[in-house]
Amino acid sequence: MSENRESRLTVGEVARLVGVSVRTLHHYDEIGLVAPSGRTPSGYRSYSGADVERLHRVLTYRELGFPLEEISALLDDPSVDAMAHLRRQRKLLEQRIDRLHQMAAAVEKLMEAQTMGIQLTPAEQREIFGDDWLGEEYAAEAEQRWGETDAWKQSQARSAKFSKADWQQIKTEADALEADLAAALTEGVPAGADRAAALAERHLAGIRRHYDCGYDMQVCIAQTYVSDERFRKHYDDIAPGLAQYVHDVIVANAARNGQ
C-alpha cells in the first residue's frame, strides 16, 4: 500500500520547511544526494519523512563544511569511517575558528582606527602619542557631543586619509607648539602680544588640518583646557599654569580677530 498523501511533502513545502531553495533540492535530486522517493498524482516529486530526515543530515554535514561528494559517501557507503571524517572535520573547524578569531581581532583594530579617524594600529598610536594616549576616550566623548555636526564628519573624512607619517608630523608639530607656548609663558609674554597671537594661529592651523575651524570654535576648545582636568593636567605637566595661559592666548587672539 502506498504511503498516505498527508505524510508526503512537495518540493516547495520541503524548501520552506528546511530553509533551502527549490533549486538546491532539484540539484540534490539530480546528483542522487537526496532524491524524493515518491510522486504526486500529478507527477510532481514528493518527499517522505525519511527523505526529509536524510535532507536534514545532508544540511548538517554541509554546515560543518563537508563537500557534497563526501556527504554522499558518509550517508551511503558502509565502509566509510564516519568518525574519522568527523574528527578531521573538527580539526579543520578548530583551525577555521582560530582564523576567525584572528580576523575578528583585526576588524576590532580597524574599528578602533575608524572611530578615531586614525589609520593606525593601537601599537602605532602608542608609539606616536605615548603610553598615556587617551585618544579613544576623547574620541568617544567628542563623537557623542559633536557626532552629528559637519565639523565632526569633515574631521573623520580628512583624518581617515592620514598616513602614519602624517600623524608623526602632526605629533611633532604639536610638541613644538606646546614647547613654544611654555617658553612664552616662562618668559612672561602677555597673552595679547604679537608673539602669543602667532602661537594661537599655529594652534588654529593645527586644528584646521582636521576640519574648518573658526576662532569661535577654537575658543570653545580652549575652554576645555581649563575645564577638563585631563587637558589641564596635560598642559600643566609641561609647565605650571600652561593650561590657563594657552586658553588666554587663544581668547586674546580671537578678540583681535573680531570674535
The CATH number covering residue 248 comes to: 1.10.490.50
Which of 77, 103, 127 delimits the end of a domain? 77
Q: Helices H, strands E: what count in the chain? A: 13, 3
Q: What is the side-by-side order of every strand in the sheet holding 45-47? A: 9-10, 45-47, 38-39
226 within some domain:
yes
Which of 27, 55, 77 delimits the end of a domain? 77
Are 162 and 224 within one domain?
Answer: yes
With a threshold of 0.75, does the pTM exceed it? Answer: no
DSSP one-letter code for 5: G
Residue 84: burial class (beta carbons within 10 Å; 0-12, 13-18, 19+): exposed
127 within some domain:
yes
Confidence class for position 138, pLDDT limits 50, 70, 90: low
Which pLDDT does position 116 carry in this prediction? Answer: 52
Which pLDDT does position 118 carry in this prediction? Answer: 54
86 within some domain:
no
Are 42 and 143 within one domain?
Answer: no
Closest CA to 245 of 191, 173, 186, 183: 191
Q: Would you say residue 242 has pLDDT above 90? A: yes
Are 43 and 124 within one domain?
Answer: no
Q: What percent of the chain has pLDDT over 90?
A: 35
Check residues 134 and 204 and name the one with the higher pLDDT. Answer: 204
Are 53 and 116 within one domain?
Answer: no
User: Which residue reads 594652534 in cell numbers?
Assistant: 203
97 within some domain:
no
CATH code, domain with 37: 1.10.1660.10
82 within some domain:
no
Question: 150-162: b or e for each residue (b if 16 or more CB lie within 10 Å)?
Answer: ebbeebbeebeeb
Are 117 and 220 within one domain?
Answer: yes
Q: Would you say residue 158 has pLDDT above 80? A: no
Are 72 and 116 within one domain?
Answer: no
| Alpha carbon distance 48, 153 (integer Å) | 59
The total number of structural domains in the chain stands at 2
Contact between residue 58 and residue 29 where contact means Cβ atoms under 8 Å apart: no
93 within some domain:
no
Residue-number span of the structural domain to which 65 is assigned: 5-77
Q: Would you say residue 3 has pLDDT above 50? A: no
Q: What percent of the chain has pLDDT over 70?
A: 78
| 3-class secondary structure, 187 | coil
Which pLDDT does position 190 carry in this prediction? Answer: 95
| Alpha carbon distance 127, 118 (integer Å) | 13
Are 64 and 145 within one domain?
Answer: no
100 within some domain:
no
Are 36 and 140 within one domain?
Answer: no
Are 143 and 237 within one domain?
Answer: yes
| Alpha carbon distance 174, 181 (integer Å) | 10
Which pLDDT does position 92 carry in this prediction? Answer: 79
**C-alpha distances in Å from residue 13, one per residue of 10, 16, 29, 56:** 5, 5, 15, 14
| Alpha carbon distance 246, 218 (integer Å) | 11
User: Which residue reads 569661535 in cell numbers?
Assistant: 216
Report residue 10: phi and psi, to 5°: -80, 170
87 within some domain:
no
Which pLDDT does position 151 carry in this prediction? Answer: 67
Longest distance between any two alpha carbons in the chain, whole Å:
108
Strand partners, 20: none
CA 201 to mean position of chain CA atoms: 35
| Cell numbers for 150 | 559637519
Which of 62, 77, 92 delimits the end of a domain? 77
| 3-class secondary structure, 102 | helix
Q: Would you say residue 191 has pLDDT above 90? A: yes
Of the ranges 50-59, 95-104, 112-121, 194-203, which one carries the lowest mean pLDDT score? 112-121
Residue 169: what residue type? Q
| Cell numbers for 51 | 527523505
pLDDT tens for 24-59 read 999 999 999 999 998 888 888 899 998 998 998 899
pLDDT tens for 106-122 read 556 555 555 555 555 65
